[in-house]
Structure 1
């Protein structure tokens, strides 16, 4: 986190390089991006079908209705 607060560009670059060196030496596989997301809704929301592999694609609501 120190690299996020560092204002000096060269010092920040060196901190990031040190982080990268440690990750390579440790053979670590940090999670850079995690695209899994969950959906939840109330039981009175009917006919909502989340897309199978994305939370952003195919969100159409013309068939969704509220049973309330």
Structure 2
């Protein structure tokens, strides 16, 4: 019974943590976008590495948003 009472509160905490993590990743994604814009044409290998990281961050954001959207509470 106690678990059921704590479930909504835990769910709210989990949702808040997910939103915080999404915000952090969005900030990182924006920073990578800015950096990529500044490095264009300078170092192809570094540019590819940054673009790959940016895509990975975007994928992670989408996965976390899906978790947040499918949370029943």
TM-score under structure 2 normalisation? 0.35
Between Structure 1 and Structure 2, the one with more helix by share is: 2
Bigger Rg over Cα = 1
TM-score under structure 1 normalisation? 0.38
Between Structure 1 and Structure 2, the one with more strand by share is: 1
Higher RCO, Cα 8 Å, sep 6+: 2
